[in-house]
Structure 1
């Protein structure tokens, strides 16, 4: 990676995490409710929807898990094998015990057993972001897992939608050839579509 781009990305991560951490409890709750309302049209019977387990101050989608179950959709969560970048996804079950937890420090992300599927077998992928821009690029945690996973997908599947707070949207982010573009970004104030893809009214 170009050192200048790496430095720019790291500085932007610091700035956007600071902005996200400043959000108050009520502000976060109202934003999360608004985002879930915007995403509900995607949650339909038979759909396979990849979500994520919120880490730290990321936007929490857990209420959407219940909505999906009620509507006959299936939520999948990332499953990362030790030493691998390309992710699998396993179905989430509300009463299931985590098979194991991954992560460092206080951020232990549960992973669930179940039939593993690759990303291109999913209909929709909801991605966490540190930041997103109006050109369709996201800034992640710097792990490279989503880029490595999506690089192997073909034919526009799954639909890639970043979700976050409005304070995480900016005009332009530095990006490189391996950064996989999004199809959309949804926040409490935004329903942005990229690459001509229409997904949420």
Structure 2
């Protein structure tokens, strides 16, 4: 698993600017055409920082449609994510600070993930039943495992991040409801948690 994560992260970083733009536009079209996006008013989403599919077009479109946009901030005490509502101005002016792990975070007090309608997640890899491989910190898994209500979970992936073989799903892993690649939007039937 560690070797696979390293290879996928490397492949992600090696994508050209053109490849990233092409992936962003294709994913954007799939996402905004989906019923779950259209019906969601409160959207939690990430700021891309490590070669993930860019979320810029989705965020700008959310503001255009008057949806509420929330960005994650790490709560160091519980090692979970809190969600901070941002404005269009904050986003355009890039009013964020750089976390020691390398990503940018919003200022302000955050809320629990439970109040979101849709959570758009980054990933390193994903299999064809919705098992998500993250960066290895476990922040999303802990956040969702402790939520009183779980929003719809949509992962964004480059085509090569959708893996042909099953990932080993640990008991703490929080699966996706769907994943969107430049080629297609794939919906999963959420499976019971299992260590096999």
Q: Same fold (TM over 0.5)?
A: yes
Shift of 1:56: 1.9
State the TM-score, normalizing by the size of structure 2. 0.86
Q: Does the 8 Å CA contact 1:162/1:186 hold for their aligned counterparts?
A: yes
Q: CA RMSD in A?
A: 1.9
5+ long unaligned stretches in structure 2:
191-196
Distance in 2, matches of 1:19 and 1:28, equals: 12
The number of residues matched between the two structures is 184
Identify which of 109, 124, 134 aligns with 2:128. 134
Distance in 2, matches of 1:108 and 1:60, equals: 13
Identify which of 21, 25, 28 aligns with 2:17. 25
- The range that moved more, 77-86 or 138-147, is 77-86
Q: 1:99 to 1:187 in 2, by over 3 A?
A: closer
Q: Does the 8 Å CA contact 1:185/1:192 hold for their aligned counterparts?
A: yes
Whether 2:2 is the aligned partner of 1:15: answer no
1:166-187 per-residue CA deviation (whole Å, 9 max, x = no partner) reads 1101031122110011101101
Q: Does the 8 Å CA contact 2:63/2:88 hold for their aligned counterparts?
A: no
Q: Does the 8 Å CA contact 1:129/1:139 hold for their aligned counterparts?
A: yes
Whether 2:95 is the aligned partner of 1:101: answer no
Whether 2:31 is the aligned partner of 1:39: answer yes
1:94-129 per-residue CA deviation (whole Å, 9 max, x = no partner) reads 32264643133xx24122325x32111100000000
Distance in 1, matches of 2:127 and 2:152, equals: 17
Aligned to 2:193: none
Aligned to 1:112: 107
1:18-70 per-residue CA deviation (whole Å, 9 max, x = no partner) reads 22223222121111001011111344476101100111211110121110011
